[in-house]
């Protein structure tokens, strides 16, 4: 069975069981700020179990329409970064594909979930149940043993010796992030490898760690496609095979082996795994940077380059590897078919890294020669800042020479650097500070107009793209405004035009701009939008642009929108933090001439 066939078989099976097939969500969570990435198939459905959203009535942010069903199924790419250093062994992956079936509002619970799993494993995967162990939650002081699941498995004919009682670490799942739905789970292991986890959502875990019973129970299952594929294809000689021998990775592994001057299996596995994850991240409009999601992508790409070097491969294989990936995944995941853009991001980062790699290694070697035990944090930060080496690479090079790195000192140096950067930012107009510019100057007037335009721009973006759009940052000079905002894909040309037209409509309407002060709590209650990055004092300054735009802001602003002239959007692009960026300018208003 191929990976395509397994994915289709799973989705078809559950569709026949009354489930609606839901398309995969973006790797960037739509409405969950507790995590950087989608880390589980259930994440896009998280709010349905907590009853914050209704699957029948409420708009799903990734679909722009309600689910319309209380039982759904999906195949979801997930990123988990805690295992990056483990990649290369038999089963750890940076990105994996999670097959899942889900039930909301009490549609079905433990009996049906176990029935479905048993049916699929028996009749579709055709695995031998004698090779399978199932686990059940044994209970603790807060949550009782899951006797119901134990009895249901036993009723299927599973021998008691194959039903293992597990503790909270293994058999109580969730939540994703700091709070959310969770509950006991029943894992299914084939010859020691977990291939499916059935989670029974019965509780809501709050941020203080307390559990509250959910008003309506639900089911959340996660089956690793890669692991099920391994079990199906290599069940007879399972102990000798790895995920990298399935069709998901086999073409990449063969390519790397054919090109390597000094082949080693672990480096090839790391390259194959990290390349797949990197392409999917880039397709989610994440670009390499030194923070958050962009930092993870940068770290992956640079690890690819380091391990290609260890394989003795100097040829650029990105295009060949991307073709392999597209042949395997492109039919289901259309977003990875933007060949030009994906290669552009990969090659740009490779060029940037290769320029500094050799010099950085030389510098490291000189440092290592002077140290016989530990590299201090200041030295590590110097290498990080000067050569762009992530801490993981510095550690890797140090370990290869029997040295250690003082990571605590490194983090302290990193924080000092961030504080200096923040202080410098206060002198930019993006930080709402014009103290260094003469209020009577032409520069001050231009920047005041452009700053006012950012408020109109944010409101227009929220109307066109949805209320999940928030300001992420801004920077203004005499030539243009730059505005960063949360959004998980490239805007279409039509959307850009809609935003531009809407702003200009409000400019031409001659909206008056009013300033007032009020308590922060009152401002937020009355619909004034603030930057989620800011920490506000008790009393804040607010600005109304007519009755259309309402924001907390220190100003300054023009008095009437007609003073802005006409907004022109120059460019829409990806920002360094996985958000979108617009660059725009305001043309001077036309002057009337009298003879």
| Three-state SS annotation for 2-49 | CHHHHHHHHHHHHHHCCCEECCCCCCCCCCCCCCCCCCCCCHHHHHHH
Give the C-alpha distances (Å, rounded to integers) separating 356 from 12, 216, 376, 417. Answer: 49, 56, 21, 21
For the stretch 538-555, pLDDT in tens is 677 888 898 888 888 877
Do the Cβ atoms of 409 and 377 come closer than 8 Å? yes
Buried b (16+ CB within 10 A) or exposed e, 506-526: bbeeebebeeeebebeebbee
Taking every pair of C-alpha atoms in the chain, what is the biggest distance, in angstroms? Answer: 100
Quick one: 102 and 60 in the same domain? Answer: yes
Q: Could you read off the pLDDT of 104-114 as tens digits, one per residue?
A: 999 999 999 99
Neighbours of 207 (CB within 10 A): 11
In this prediction, residue 81 has a pLDDT band, given cuts at 50, 70 and 90, of: confident
Look at residue 534 and tell me whether its pLDDT is greater than 50.
no
Q: Which of 366, 396, 421 is the last residue of a domain?
A: 421
User: Do residue 221 and residue 354 come from a single domain?
Assistant: no
Do 90 and 238 lie in one domain? The reply is yes
| 504 lies in the same domain as 385 | no
Whether 280 is in a domain gets the answer no
Which DSSP string do the residues of 175-220 spell out, in sequence order?
-SSSSEEEEEEEEEEETTEEEEEEEEEEEEE-TTS-EEEEEEEEEE
Q: How far is CA 410 from CA 369, 403, 416, in A?
A: 20, 15, 10
Answer whether residue 491 is part of any domain: yes
- DSSP assignment of 427-479: TSGGGT--TTS-TTSHHHHHHHHHHHHHHHHHHHHHHHH-TT--EEEEEE-SS
Domain membership of residue 258 (yes or no) is no
Relative to beta strand 71-79, strand 95-103 is: antiparallel
Residues 435 and 414 in one domain: no
CA 363 from chain center: how many Å? 34
Report the interhelical angle of 339-370 vs 292-310 (nearest 10°).
70
Q: Which has the closest alpha carbon to 59: 43, 44, 41, 39?
A: 44
DSSP element (H, E) containing 183:
strand 180-190
pLDDT > 70? residue 436: no
Segment 406-429, tens digit of pLDDT: 888 888 887 776 655 444 433 333
Closest to 236 measured CA to CA, from 317, 128, 164: 128
Domain-terminating residue out of 421, 442, 473: 421
112: CATH: 3.30.930.10
> What local confidence, expressed as pLDDT, does residue 142 receive?
84
Q: Which residue has the higher pLDDT, 244 or 174?
A: 244
User: Helix (H) and strand (E) counts for the chain?
Assistant: 17, 18
Neighbours of 21 (CB within 10 A): 14
2-60 pLDDT, tens digit per residue, is 999 999 999 999 999 999 999 998 898 876 666 788 888 888 898 888 788 899 999 88
Radius of gyration, CA atoms only, the chain: 27
Burial 167-194 (b: 16+ CB within 10 A, else e): eeebbbbbbbbebbbbbbbbbbbbbebb
Whether the CB-CB separation of 231 and 193 falls below 8 Å is answered with: yes
What residues form DSSP beta bridges with 543?
Answer: 515, 551
435 shares a domain with 417 = no
The conformation of residue 258, written as its DSSP 8-state character, comes to: H
Q: Which of 367, 387, 421 is at the close of a domain?
A: 421
At 165, the pLDDT band (50, 70, 90 cuts) reads very high
SS3 state at 140: coil
Looking up residue 435, the CATH number of its domain turns out to be: 3.30.980.10
- 400 dihedral zone (left: phi>0; alpha: psi -120 to 50; beta): alpha
Instruction: Tell me what the pLDDT averaged over the chain comes to.
Output: 86
Backbone region of residue 18 per phi and psi (left: phi > 0; alpha: psi in -120 to 50; beta: other values): left
| Residue 61 domain flag | yes
In a domain, 162, yes or no: yes
Side-chain-side CA neighbours of 182 within 13 Å: the count stands at: 23
Q: What is the pLDDT of residue 31?
A: 65
Query: Which are the contacts of 565, defined by CB distance < 8 A and separation ≥ 6?
Result: 449, 507, 586, 587, 588, 589, 590
What's residue 424's pLDDT? 40
What pLDDT digit, counting tens, does each position of 306-335 carry? 899 889 999 999 999 999 999 999 999 999
CA distance 186 to 250: 31
Q: Is the dihedral of CA 117, 123, 127, 129 positive or negative?
A: positive
* Same-domain pairing of 331 and 460: no
Residue 60 has what DSSP assignment? B
Cα of first residue to Cα of last residue in the chain, in angstroms, is: 83
- On whether both 165 and 19 belong to a single domain, the answer is yes
Does 465 share its domain with 548?
Answer: yes
Per the CB < 8 A criterion, the answer to whether 74 and 116 are in contact is no
Q: Compute the distance between CA of residue 260 and CA of residue 314 in angstroms, rounded to an integer.
A: 9
Residue 203 above 50 pLDDT?
Answer: yes
Residue 592, pLDDT score? 38
Residue 442 included in any domain: yes
Q: How many domains does the chain have?
A: 3
How are beta strands 172-173 and 163-166 bridged, if at all? unpaired
552: left (phi over 0), alpha (psi -120 to 50) or beta: beta
Query: Does residue 535 carry a pLDDT above 70?
Result: no
Query: Is 426 part of a structural domain of the chain?
Result: no
Confidence of residue 533 (pLDDT cuts 50, 70, 90): very low
Do 401 and 453 lie in a common domain? no
Q: Which domain holds residue 201?
A: 3-244
Model pLDDT, residue 459: 92
77 and 189 in a common domain: yes
Find all residues with CB under 8 Å of 120, minimum gap 6, and list them.
10, 13
Distance CA 309, CA 164 (A): 45
Q: State the pLDDT at residue 102.
A: 97
Same domain, yes or no: 184 and 322: no
**How high is the pLDDT of residue 526?**
73
Domain assignment present for residue 358? The answer is yes
Nearest to 21 by CA among 33, 5, 10, 36: 10
């Amino acid at each position: 069975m191929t990976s395509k066939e397994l994915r289709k078989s799973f989705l078809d099976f559950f569709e026949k069981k009354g489930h609606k097939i839901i398309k995969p969500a973006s790797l960037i969570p739509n409405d969950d700020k507790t995590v950087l990435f989608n880390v589980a198939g259930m994440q896009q459905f998280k709010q349905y179990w907590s009853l914050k959203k209704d699957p029948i009535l409420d708009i799903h942010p990734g679909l722009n329409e309600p689910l319309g069903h209380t039982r759904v199924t999906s195949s979801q790419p997930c990123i988990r970064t805690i295992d990056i250093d483990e990649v290369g062994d038999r089963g750890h992956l940076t990105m994996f594909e999670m097959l899942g079936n889900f039930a909301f509002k009490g549609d079905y619970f433990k009996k049906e979930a176990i029935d479905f799993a048993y049916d699929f494993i028996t009749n579709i995967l055709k695995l031998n149940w004698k090779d399978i162990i199932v686990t059940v939650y044994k209970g603790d002081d807060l949550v009782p043993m899951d006797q119901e699941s134990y009895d249901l498995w036993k009723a299927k004919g599973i021998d008691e010796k194959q039903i293992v009682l597990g503790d909270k670490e293994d058999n109580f799942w969730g939540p994703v992030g700091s709070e959310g739905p969770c509950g006991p789970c029943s894992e299914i292991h084939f010859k020691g490898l977990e291939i499916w986890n059935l989670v029974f959502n019965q509780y809501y875990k709050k941020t203080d760690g307390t559990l509250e019973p959910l008003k309506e129970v639900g089911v959340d299952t996660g089956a690793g496609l890669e692991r099920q594929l391994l079990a199906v294809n290599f069940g007879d000689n399972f102990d000798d095979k790895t995920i990298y021998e399935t069709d998901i990775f086999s073409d990449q592994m063969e390519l790397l082996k054919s090109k390597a001057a000094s082949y080693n299996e672990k480096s090839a596995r790391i390259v194959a795994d990290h390349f797949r994850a990197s392409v999917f991240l880039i397709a989610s409009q994440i670009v390499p940077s030194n923070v958050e999601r962009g930092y993870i992508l940068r770290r992956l790409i640079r690890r690819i380059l380091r391990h290609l070097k260890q394989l003795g491969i100097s040829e650029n294989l990105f295009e060949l590897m991307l073709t392999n990936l597209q042949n395997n995944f492109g039919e289901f995941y259309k977003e990875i078919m933007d060949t030009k853009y994906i290669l552009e991001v990969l090659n740009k980062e490779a060029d940037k890294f290769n320029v500094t790699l050799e010099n950085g290694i030389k510098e490291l070697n000189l440092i290592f020669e002077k140290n016989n035990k530990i590299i201090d944090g200041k030295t590590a930060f110097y290498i990080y800042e000067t050569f762009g080496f992530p801490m993981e690479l510095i550690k890797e090079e140090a370990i290869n020479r029997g040295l250690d790195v003082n990571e605590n000192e490194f983090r302290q140096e990193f924080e000092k650097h961030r504080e200096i950067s923040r202080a410098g930012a206060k002198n930019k107009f993006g930080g709402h500070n014009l103290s260094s510019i003469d209020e009577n100057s032409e520069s001050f007037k231009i920047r005041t107009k452009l700053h006012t335009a950012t408020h109109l721009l944010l409101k227009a973006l929220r109307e066109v793209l949805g209320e999940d759009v928030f300001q992420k940052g801004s920077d203004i000079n005499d030539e243009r405004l730059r505005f960063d905002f949360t959004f998980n894909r490239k805007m279409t040309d039509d959307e850009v035009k809609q935003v531009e037209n809407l702003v200009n409509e409000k400019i031409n309407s001659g909206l008056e701009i009013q300033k007032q002060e009020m308590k922060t709590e009152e401002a937020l209650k009355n619909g004034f939008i603030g930057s989620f990055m800011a920490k506000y004092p008790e009393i804040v300054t607010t600005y109304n642009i007519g009755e259309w735009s309402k924001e907390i802001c220190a100003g300054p602003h023009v008095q009437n929108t007609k003073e802005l002239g006409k907004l022109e959007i120059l460019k829409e692009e990806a920002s360094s933090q996985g958000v979108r960026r617009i660059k725009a300018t305001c043309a001077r208003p036309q002057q009337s001439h009298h003879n």
